[in-house]
């Protein structure tokens, strides 16, 4: 291709605090419209905002995890604009002195690694929500007014849809690991704005960029980048100019359309909010947060490889989501057999999760239960294939494996005398296989073991069966 794509992202993430950024209203998602509001977040005259401490702590946590410089002094500013979802007619945000600046996040795309620069992270309040499809004109739900956000702004360092997607996934993972946001994209807890331009390969100067706002899935992000870069290249190839504008991405139709051009853009007339004191952070406060930062995915990955000899691939897959990583660690703690835990989580469990379209968080059994299942197999109380059946029931009912084994009579048959009777019957019924085996055709033993497993509904201990066959031919 003759063109290079240049992408920067602005990521809005709702913080996982119980109360809003400047008042005590609840932030719980999905409550009845306008029930989580008060004079402060409705912007009534005479009210005063008070900054939620947790918001500062969470922003600092995210900043440290993204290798940012944390400001000892930052302030809150008013961004003035009128819109029906913003009763105050201004949003409290941060303008020239954000709380975090100049960070770095490393991504791995295919076989190369790359560092994406973080320009800044600032804190701000969310706006309300307009409901257009009620049949009663447009209604406003102000529950979301004042829900705390961080906005993460990157340098224009990404060069493809794959890089943008990988970066976005990495940010989600960091925010989850640091417990800053629940990152529920279907609830709008994580939203992406894409700034995109193209330029001829080898050119230094950046092309004119467009902005697409509020993409709320990785897939939409990837598709929007692909379609918008194609559109810009197409326009340039035809000799047209790219207009600096905000575009809306329509994921259903796979295309974007113009919302407003730069000429119509707002002048927000930022000024420091006179009702709020600046945010002054001592170094000791920042260090305290750094010291208590939950273990990040790349630290855990390294741990898994060094402590438990996991392959890089396995360690990668297990640390993508914090829920999976925690489940894995707790199960290893319970049974002391990391290799088996990897096999179960990455094999049967992940297949079942995919099939049911649920995540590790929704699993009905505990890490202790999985540890117990592995223990039962290791001490030969049940076979691996019975273990798989037990797991299925654990997924359905959440019952403990020992209970399931006991209830369904699935215990492994280890008793030689009991098994010998079955082995002898099977040998008698299959003289040809016995003959083959005697003549050194080792394949025949597999068939005979299979027959015995069939007789015992998979409960026979395969080692004992093998031994008995060899002893009795």
Select 23 or 212, whichever has its Cβ closest to Zn ion.
Answer: 23
CA-to-CA distance for 200 and 31, rounded, in angstroms?
Answer: 50
| Minimum distance, C-beta of residue 24 to Zn ion, in the bound complex (Å) | 7
| Minimum distance, C-beta of residue 40 to Zn ion, in the bound complex (Å) | 5
| Minimum distance, C-beta of residue 138 to Zn ion, in the bound complex (Å) | 22
Going by C-alpha positions, the residue among 49, 345, 263, 292 that lies closest to residue 179 is: 292
Select 23 or 345, whichever has its Cβ closest to Zn ion.
Answer: 23
Select 41 or 225, whichever has its Cβ closest to Zn ion.
Answer: 41
Select 41 or 116, whichever has its Cβ closest to Zn ion.
Answer: 41
Q: What secondary structure does DSSP assign to 96-145, as a single string? A: SS-SEEEEEEEEEETTEEEEEEEEEEEEEE---EEE--SSSS-EEEGGGT
Q: What angle do CA 195, 200, 205 make, to 5 degrees?
A: 65
| Minimum distance, C-beta of residue 30 to Zn ion, in the bound complex (Å) | 17
CA-to-CA distance for 328 and 403, rounded, in angstroms?
Answer: 22
Going by C-alpha positions, the residue among 118, 128, 76, 116 that lies closest to residue 99 is: 76
| Minimum distance, C-beta of residue 67 to Zn ion, in the bound complex (Å) | 34
| Minimum distance, C-beta of residue 37 to Zn ion, in the bound complex (Å) | 5
User: Quick one: the chain helix, strand, coil %, rounded to 5?
Assistant: 45, 20, 35
Q: What secondary structure does DSSP assign to 192-241, as a single string? A: EEEEEEEEETT--S----EEEEEE-SHHHHHHHHHHHHHHHHHHHHTTPP
The three-state secondary structure class of 168 is helix
| Minimum distance, C-beta of residue 78 to Zn ion, in the bound complex (Å) | 18
Select 140 or 360, whichever has its Cβ closest to Zn ion.
Answer: 140
Structure tokens at 315: 């360690």
Q: Are 268 and 81 in contact (CB under 8 A)?
A: yes
The three-state secondary structure class of 444 is helix
Select 40 or 66, whichever has its Cβ closest to Zn ion.
Answer: 40
Select 44 or 130, whichever has its Cβ closest to Zn ion.
Answer: 44
| Minimum distance, C-beta of residue 332 to Zn ion, in the bound complex (Å) | 44
Burial 67-85 (b: 16+ CB within 10 A, else e): ebebbeebbbbbbbeeeeb
Note the residues at the interface with Zn ion (CB under 5 A). 23, 25, 38, 40-41
Select 49 or 458, whichever has its Cβ closest to Zn ion.
Answer: 49
């Amino acid at each position: 291709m003759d063109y290079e794509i240049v992408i920067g992202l602005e990521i809005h993430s709702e913080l996982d605090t119980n109360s809003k950024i400047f008042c005590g209203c609840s932030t719980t998602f999905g409550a009845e419209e306008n029930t989580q509001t008060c004079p402060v977040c409705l912007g009534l005259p005479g009210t005063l905002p008070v900054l939620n401490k947790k918001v500062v702590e969470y922003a600092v946590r995210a900043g440290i995890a993204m290798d940012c410089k944390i400001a000892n002094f930052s302030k809150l500013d008013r961004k003035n604009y009128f819109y029906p979802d913003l009763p105050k007619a201004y949003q409290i945000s941060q303008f020239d002195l954000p709380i975090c600046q100049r960070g770095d996040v490393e991504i791995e795309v295919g076989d190369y690694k790359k560092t994406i620069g973080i320009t800044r992270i600032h804190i701000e309040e969310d706006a309300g929500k307009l409901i257009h499809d009620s049949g009663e004109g447009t209604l406003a739900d102000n529950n979301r007014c004042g829900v705390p956000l961080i906005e993460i702004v990157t340098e224009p360092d990404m060069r493809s849809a794959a890089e943008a997607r990988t970066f976005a996934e990495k940010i989600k993972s960091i925010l989850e690991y640091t417990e800053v946001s629940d990152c529920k994209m279907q609830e709008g807890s994580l939203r992406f704005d894409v700034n995109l331009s193209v330029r001829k390969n080898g050119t230094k100067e950046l092309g004119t960029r467009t902005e697409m706002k509020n993409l709320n899935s990785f897939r939409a992000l990837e598709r929007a980048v692909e379609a918008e870069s194609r559109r810009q290249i197409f326009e340039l190839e035809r000799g047209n100019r790219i207009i600096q504008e905000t575009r809306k991405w329509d994921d259903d139709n796979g295309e974007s359309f113009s919302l407003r051009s730069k000429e119509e853009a707002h002048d927000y007339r930022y000024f420091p909010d006179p009702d709020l004191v600046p945010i002054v952070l001592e170094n000791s406060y920042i260090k305290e947060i750094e010291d208590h930062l939950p273990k990040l995915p790349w630290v855990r990955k390294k741990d898994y490889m060094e402590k438990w000899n996991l392959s890089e691939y396995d360690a990668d897959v297990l640390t993508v989501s914090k829920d999976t990583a925690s489940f894995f660690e707790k199960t290893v703690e319970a049974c002391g057999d990391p290799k088996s835990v990897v096999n179960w989580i990455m094999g049967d469990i992940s297949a079942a999760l995919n099939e049911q379209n649920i995540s590790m968080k929704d699993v009905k059994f505990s890490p202790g239960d999985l540890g117990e299942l592995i223990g039962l197999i290791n001490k030969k109380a049940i076979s691996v294939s019975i273990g798989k059946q037990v797991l299925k029931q654990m997924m359905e009912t959440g019952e403990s494996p020992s209970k399931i084994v006991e209830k369904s009579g699935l215990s492994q048959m280890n008793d030689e005398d009991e098994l010998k009777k079955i082995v002898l019957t099977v040998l008698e019924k299959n003289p040809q296989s016995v003959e083959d085996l005697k003549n050194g055709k080792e394949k025949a033993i597999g068939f005979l073991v299979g027959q015995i497993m069939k007789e015992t509904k998979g409960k026979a201990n395969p080692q004992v069966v093998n031994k008995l066959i060899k002893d009795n031919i």
